């Protein structure tokens, strides 16, 4: 257990939130002068040093990064996290870093694993995937000064620009916008979005990309756009049934963009090969059947994660300090892979 004071200790002594302490350290202009002085006094009294454990990462002999691996869902879309793990392992190895895998039943269990792996000095930093609204894991890591980067942005408004939460994400908004515009470019207007029920951080982001593209490139009214918004749990059969229900309700479609390849494949089953469908994640399934899909560039994500974790800026390796680099977050633009259906 670390004996060093944490940002949480500073906050408690000063009577402010962790976020306020973080702002004092990284964006002091956001904090009222009286509050700032109180926090700075607590920092002095406690001898708090930001990111002490993070600095150790590059100096420790066995530099090891912990990554949680979930039981295989055996679905189509889980493959993107496997692809990310392959890329991360390769790029970490090239930097002399190891990946250690662990499992966790739920976020609380994952936090216990963080503590266990850190206390055993087995793991120096963590890379997290699958961030969600109100994620307690990143809170714990920040409060305990454990270096981490998430693949996935924080979905709570407050944390989005938190300099202590470094993240890399793929811009799902841009991906769905491009996919939608690729269909409206040929004159089609009635493009449905087949996604997950709200609230879903990634799902709602992708939905906004579709909606913005329709607003920009078609004459559809807000009501007409809303009628083309279809929510379903992920899965081929679920996607197929949701699109069938939409057709049964009398809606006419000229195309479908989806939040996942599973849903897209379901749409394909409901619609047949004559109405264009675009998936998301560019899974092997999409490649195999010739489904167009939005690809998440996991190599770029893995590079970004390691650069943020190590405080690298280009080829110039600098210290971990948040103050020493401007790039705390990276939003990577995905790429639309256009194909012709093989099964038709």
Report in angstroms how near the CB of residue 338 gets to its own copies at its nearest. Answer: 17
Shorter beta-carbon distance to its own copies: residue 162 or 234:
234
95-127 CB burial, b ≥16 within 10 A, e <16: eebebeebebeeeeebbebbeebbeeeebbbbb
Integer angstrom CA distances of residue 151 from 35, 52, 196, 272, 332: 33, 23, 20, 35, 11
Report in angstroms how near the CB of residue 184 gets to its own copies at its nearest. Answer: 27
Could you count the other beta carbons within 10 Å of the beta carbon of residue 185?
9
Cα distance between residue 66 and residue 112, in whole Å? 13
Shorter beta-carbon distance to its own copies: residue 20 or 283:
283
Report in angstroms how near the CB of residue 334 gets to its own copies at its nearest. Answer: 15
Beta strands 312-313 and 316-317, pairing class:
antiparallel
Shorter beta-carbon distance to its own copies: residue 176 or 286:
286
Report in angstroms how near the CB of residue 58 gets to its own copies at its nearest. Answer: 17
What is the number of residues in the chain?
344
Residues 45, 9 contacting (CB under 8 angstroms)? no
Residues 335, 280 contacting (CB under 8 angstroms)? no
Report in angstroms how near the CB of residue 252 gets to its own copies at its nearest. Answer: 23
- For tokens 């047949």, what's the residue? 272
Residues near its own copies, by CB under 8 A: 62, 64, 69-72, 74-76, 79, 82-83, 85-87, 89-90, 93, 98-103, 120, 122, 236, 262, 265, 268-269, 283-285, 287-289, 298, 342-343
Shorter beta-carbon distance to its own copies: residue 228 or 275:
275
Shorter beta-carbon distance to its own copies: residue 11 or 266:
266
Shorter beta-carbon distance to its own copies: residue 99 or 188:
99
Report in angstroms how near the CB of residue 102 gets to its own copies at its nearest. Answer: 6
Report in angstroms how near the CB of residue 99 gets to its own copies at its nearest. Answer: 4
Residues 154, 161 contacting (CB under 8 angstroms)? no
Residues 77, 234 contacting (CB under 8 angstroms)? yes
Shorter beta-carbon distance to its own copies: residue 79 or 331:
79
Report in angstroms how near the CB of residue 174 gets to its own copies at its nearest. Answer: 22
Cα distance between residue 274 and residue 296, in whole Å? 26
DSSP string covering 94-123:
HTT-EEEEE--SSHHHHHHHHHHHHHTT--
Shorter beta-carbon distance to its own copies: residue 1 or 72:
72
DSSP string covering 4-36:
S--HHHHHHHHT--HHHHHHHHH-GGGS-HHHH
């Amino acid at each position: 257990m670390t004996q060093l004071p944490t940002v949480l200790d500073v906050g408690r002594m000063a009577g402010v939130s962790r976020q306020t302490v973080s702002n004092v350290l990284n964006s002091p202009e956001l904090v009222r002068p009286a509050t700032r002085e109180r926090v700075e006094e607590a920092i002095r009294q406690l001898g708090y040093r930001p990111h002490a454990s993070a600095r150790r990462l590059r100096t420790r002999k066995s530099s090891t990064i912990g990554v949680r691996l979930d039981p295989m869902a055996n679905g189509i879309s889980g493959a993107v996290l496997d692809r990310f793990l392959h890329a991360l392992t390769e790029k970490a190895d090239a930097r002399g870093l190891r990946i250690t895998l662990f499992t966790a039943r739920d976020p609380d269990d994952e936090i216990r694993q963080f503590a266990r792996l850190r206390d055993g000095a087995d793991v120096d930093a963590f890379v997290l995937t699958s961030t969600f609204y109100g994620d307690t894991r990143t809170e714990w890591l920040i409060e305990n000064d454990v270096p981490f980067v998430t693949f996935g942005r924080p979905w709570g408004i407050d944390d989005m620009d938190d300099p202590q939460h470094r993240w890399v994400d793929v811009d799902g908004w841009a991906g769905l916008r491009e996919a939608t515009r690729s269909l409206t470019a040929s004159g089609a207007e009635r493009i449905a979005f087949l996604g997950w029920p709200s609230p879903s951080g990634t799902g709602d982001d992708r939905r906004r990309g579709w909606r913005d593209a329709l607003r920009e490139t078609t004459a559809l009214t807000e009501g007409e756009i809303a009628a083309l918004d279809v929510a379903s749990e992920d899965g081929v059969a679920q996607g197929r049934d949701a699109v069938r229900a939409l057709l049964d309700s009398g809606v006419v479609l000229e195309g479908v963009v989806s939040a996942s390849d599973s849903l897209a494949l379901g749409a394909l089953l409901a619609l047949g090969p004559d109405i264009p469908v675009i998936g998301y994640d560019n899974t092997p399934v999409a490649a195999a059947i010739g489904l167009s899909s939005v690809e998440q560039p996991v190599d770029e994500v893995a590079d970004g994660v390691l650069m943020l974790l190590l405080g690298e800026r280009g080829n110039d390796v600098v210290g971990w300090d948040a103050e020493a680099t401007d790039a705390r977050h990276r939003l990577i633009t995905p790429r639309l892979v256009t194909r012709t259906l093989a099964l038709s």
